[in-house]
Amino acid sequence: MVVLGFIFAPRILQLARDLMLPSEANGSIIQEIDEDIEVEPIEEDEEEEPYYPEDEEEEEELAEEERVPLPLVPEARARYGNEDIVARITIPGTAIDYLIAHTDDNSFYLYHDLWRNRTAAGTVFLDYLNTPDFRDSSSIIYGHNMRNGTKFHDVRFYRGREFFETNNEMIVTTLYEELYYDIFAVFITHINFNYIQVEFEDDEFLELVQEMKSRSYHDTEVEIGEDDSILILSTCWGPVGTDYRLVMAGRLRDDDDTEYYE
């Protein structure tokens, strides 16, 4: 079976998020875990890659499917007959170029494609607590870490400083506009760290941003204020059932928004 691994932290105490586990970040525990998995910047070939079982025949089929040119959201909804399609994410310099689904739970698109057919590869999707205009303080997108190079496989390359510096933006195209994000953090973490928080009180948002920066492989000059919006990409790191996640975050660059109309 093609590998996937779970891509977001289980939140079983919130019934609406039956696959997510709420927890408070424990600094000492996370620090020990981070040291064990070497979160310091290192060369790609010096770090042991995670192991994923794989089915070569299924991976070839998936790779062929991913080569289909992607339409914009209105056309995509018509093509797939699926109103759950809300956006498209593109990361220049990588193979990440996918339509994004959004529904009322965080489980369906783990194992269904955009035609709503059952598939181990799942679909890239937005957290159900988010609004599809990507104007929440923090929007979270989940995607499987596929060994065949699809979905969020290429996020791993951002552990390297040179790749990070030369491919430092994410683009989300919604129904009406293109949103540009400057990447400010890349890190591996245990699910004890609740980086997938969507709703915030008081200084919680800035505290989350600071914690992500402190865990990141790289320091950046991207400044984030309380009124800013961020985008988080989350994927699994390790064998099936792992409790580790590879995370990348970017800040919305409001002055570069451009509208398009069908």
Would 126 be classed as within a structural domain? Answer: yes
Can you give the pLDDT at residue 69?
58
Task: Say what percent of the chain tops pLDDT 90.
Answer: 66
Residue, of 179 and 70, whose pLDDT is higher: 179
Query: Is residue 163 a part of any domain in this protein?
Result: yes
Comparing 135-144, 162-171, 248-257, the range with the smallest average pLDDT is: 248-257
Which pLDDT value is given to residue 126? 98
Predicted pLDDT of residue 39 = 37
Confidence at 238, pLDDT banded by 50, 70, 90: confident
Of the listed ranges 14-28, 55-69, 114-128, the least confidently predicted one is: 14-28
Q: Is residue 89 part of a domain?
A: yes
State the total domains in the chain.
1
Residue 185 falls within a domain, yes or no?
A: yes
Residue 1 lies in a domain: no
231 has pLDDT over 50: yes
Mean pLDDT of 45-55: 37
> Does a structural domain hold residue 59?
yes
**Rounded mean pLDDT, 200-211:** 96
For residue 3, tell me if it sits in a domain. Answer: no
The pTM of this model reads: 0.74
Residue 257's pLDDT is 43
Domain assignment of residue 115, given as a range: 15-39+46-259
2 part of a folded domain: no
43-47, 104-108, 225-229: range with lowest mean pLDDT: 43-47
Specify the CATH number for the domain of residue 58: 2.40.260.10
Reported confidence tier of residue 28, pLDDT bands at 50, 70, 90: very low
3-state DSSP of the chain: CCCCCCCCCCCCCCHHHCCCCCCCCCHHHHHHHHHHCCCCCCCHHHCCCCCCCCCHHHHHHHHHHHCCCCCCHHHHHHHHCCCCEEEEEECCCCCCEEEEECCCCCCHHHCECCCCCECCCCCCEECCCCCCCCCCCEEEEECCECCCCCECHHHHHHHCHHHHHHCCEEEEECCCEEEEEEEEEEEEEECCCCCCCCCCCCCHHHHHHHHHHHHCCCCCCCCCCCCCCEEEEEEECCCCCCCEEEEEEEEECHHHCEECCC
